[in-house]
Amino acid sequence: MTITVNGKSLELEKPINLNELLVVAKADQPEYVTVERNGEFVDHKGFVSTFVADGDTIEFLYFMGGGAA
């Protein structure tokens, strides 16, 4: 199956949950990243029970502070 993560294609052999996807896709800050699946936010509590499906679009949204100092 093929999904899109942050605009890039990712091939997967079988459906995995979002916790596993964070590892496979090498997400930064996996404890604090905001995950959007097909346009909807998924709460961290739901990662373990949310499995990706063929054609899913996943976005990892990261905290960025930076700015002044």
Partner 1 sequence: MSSLTNEQLERYSRHIILKQVGGKGQEKLLNGKVLVIGTGGLGSPAAMYLAAAGVGTIGLVDYDVVDLSNLQRQIIHKTSSVGKNKVDSGRATIEALNPDVKVHTYQELVRADNILDIIRDQDYDFLIDATDNFPAKFLINDACVMAKKPFSHAGIIRFQGQTMTYVPGQGPCYRCVFPEMPPKDAVPTCREAGIIGVMGGVIGTLQATEAIKYILGIGDLLTGYLLTYDALTMQFRKIKIPRNPNCPVCGDHPTVTKLVDYEQPACDLRKKG
- Binding residues among 46-65 for partner 1 as defined by CB under 8 A: 59, 61-65
Residue 12 corresponds to which tokens in the numbers above?
């997967």
Contact between 26 and partner 1 by CB under 8 A: the answer reads: no
Residue pair 27/59 in contact (Cβ under 8 Å)? The answer is no
Contact between 29 and partner 1 by CB under 8 A: the answer reads: yes
Measured between alpha carbons, how far is residue 26 from residues 5, 29, 55, 67 in Å? 11, 9, 19, 26
Can you tell me which of 6, 46, 48, 49 binds partner 1, judged by CB under 8 A?
6
Contact between 7 and partner 1 by CB under 8 A: the answer reads: yes
18 vs 35: CA distance, rounded Å: 9
Please report, as ranges, the residues that interact with partner 1 according to CB under 8 A. 6-7, 29, 31-32, 34, 36, 39-41, 43, 59, 61-69
